[in-house]
Amino acid sequence: MSDPAMSHAFPSLSRRSVFRGAVALGAGAALGGLELPGAASAAVPVPTIASCATWGARPPADPLTEISTDANKILIHHTATPNVTDYSQAHAYALARSIQNFHMDDNHWSDTGQHLTVSRGGYVMEGRHFSLAHLTSGNGMVVGAHCPGQNNQAIGIENEGTYTSTTPTTAQWNKLVDLCAYICEQYELAPTKIYGHRDYVSTDCPGDAFYARLPQLRLDVAAKLNGTPPFSVVIDNGSAGFRASAAWDTSSFSAQRYGADYRFATPVGASDAAYFSATLPAAANYRLETWYPADAGYNAATPFVVFASGGNKTVTVNQQANGGGWRDLGTYAFGAGARDLVAVSRWTSGTQYVIADAVRVTRV
């Protein structure tokens, strides 16, 4: 029997299914993960992926379809199961078994729908049989059952948890980055080929909060493929990397502020800027963003002076609009080490308050 089209690989795992998985815990728990042979280059570590045999999968109910076509993208899912705090390998393997049971017994599919699963504890497991063999060789794939229209071209990754309003654990995120980088390398995919389930069908999956992090996932995977670690730091006005004179007052007036409060000052024809500094890991290109509360009483032409390698550049920001979120200031080359990145200047022709709240710097 072939797998039917469906709106979600794992739409509503019942308590019964979770419980059944938990009861089965122990059968394969003592087995270790499978270390894959080194097919990847030195730039991308080969992740440890527990095979179906390792976590104790049942055999498929029907012959699976293997194709010689390589995957052309990665689709990110969440399992919509509870955000458990059991981060053990035993729990991860039990999860894999409960998903397979659900897909085979309740959905009546041939086998687990997705190709790979990442637990909240950071364990990576093979989903559908033969997924691992194809990934290891970088040739072809087994047709999955995780997204209608994409099952014969997208590698489906189920991430344990429900990410409508919260994001994956750090361990889970880091393993997902490693896994995606490895998949990209094996199938020669660009990190831009990472998508969310909702990009292809109408579904909440992988949740609003997780979906909003997919741009960062692509960045982190790109950094892994390039052999450079991701770097992103927020400098709030309360951070050590911030400094301003006493002429800058402190306020918590606007709910759009970042953190506890922000600094503000009246315009003046003199150099009395509020500085944001950070220690950068390397000479490279970095994207700068600012967060400020917007208000009709704030300056419509606030100068942000960027201390880029090629010389200072001024970006004018209208602080009467678009507050309460990260706003792009552009991407610039900076040298390595501790340095001033950007300053909010009081030297503006406007008459209303200039605001210094937070800056984010991200290596690109």
Interface pick for Zn ion out of 205, 223, 329, 356 (rule CB under 5 A): 205
Q: Verify binding: residue 6, Zn ion, rule CB under 5 A.
A: no
- The answer to whether 103 contacts Zn ion (rule: CB under 5 A) is no
Asked if 262 and 293 touch (Cβ cutoff 8 Å), the reply is yes
Place of tokens 């981060």: 87
The DSSP bridge partners found for residue 78 are 159
Q: How far is the CB of 146 from Zn ion (least distance, A)?
A: 6
Q: Which stretch binds Zn ion (CB under 5 A): 77-85, 186-194, 223-231, 295-303?
A: 77-85
Q: Which is nearer to Zn ion, 75 or 355 (CB)?
A: 75
Name the segment binding Zn ion (CB under 5 A); options: 4-12, 26-34, 239-247, 304-312: 4-12
Distances from the Cα of 266 to the Cα of 70, 78, 269, 344, 349, angstroms: 60, 48, 10, 12, 11
| Shortest Å distance, C-beta 175 to Zn ion | 18
Answer for which of 103, 193, 197, 346 binds Zn ion (CB under 5 A) is 197
Of 48 and 114, nearer to Zn ion (C-beta) is: 114
358-363 sheet: strands from edge to edge: 232-236, 358-363, 284-291, 327-334
Q: How far is the CB of 80 from Zn ion (least distance, A)?
A: 8
Number of residues that bind Zn ion (CB under 5 A): 4
The nearest distance, CB 179 to Zn ion, in angstroms, is 16
Between 103 and 257, CB nearer to Zn ion: 103
- DSSP of 139-206, one letter per residue? S-EE--SSSTTTTTTEEEEEESS--SSS---HHHHHHHHHHHHHHHHHHT--GGGEEEGGGTSS--TT
Q: Concatenated DSSP letters for 323-364?
A: -SS-EEEEEEEE-SEEEEEEEE-S--S--SBEEE-EEEEEE-
Q: Evaluate whether 306 touches 313 at the Cβ level (below 8 Å).
A: yes
Candidates 58-66, 70-78, 90-98, 118-126 — which segment interacts with Zn ion by CB under 5 A? 70-78
Beta-carbon count within 10 A of 243 CB: 15
- Choose one: 93-101, 202-210, 211-219, 334-342; the region binding Zn ion (CB under 5 A): 202-210
The dihedral over CA atoms of 149, 152, 155, 161, expressed in degrees to the nearest 10, equals 50
Q: Which is nearer to Zn ion, 161 or 241 (CB)?
A: 161
Peptide bond into 206 cis (omega under 30): yes
Residue 28 or residue 113: which is nearer to Zn ion going by CB? 113
- Interacting positions 152-191 with Zn ion (CB under 5 A): none
**Interface with Zn ion by CB under 5 A: which range of 91-99, 193-201, 236-244, 303-311?**
193-201
Output the smallest distance, CB 155 to Zn ion, in A. Answer: 13
Pair 348, 354: CB distance under 8 Å: yes
Q: Give phi and psi for 131, each to the nearest 5.
A: -60, -40
**77 sits near Zn ion (criterion: CB under 5 A):** yes
Least Å distance, CB 176 to Zn ion, is 14
Residue window 247-286: x/- pattern of binding to Zn ion, with contact defined by CB under 5 A: ----------------------------------------
Q: How far is the CB of 66 from Zn ion (least distance, A)?
A: 22
Are residues 304 and 343 in contact, defined by beta-carbon separation less than 8 angstroms? yes
Residue with tokens 């979600």: 8
Residue ranges that bind Zn ion, judged by CB under 5 A: 8, 77, 197, 205
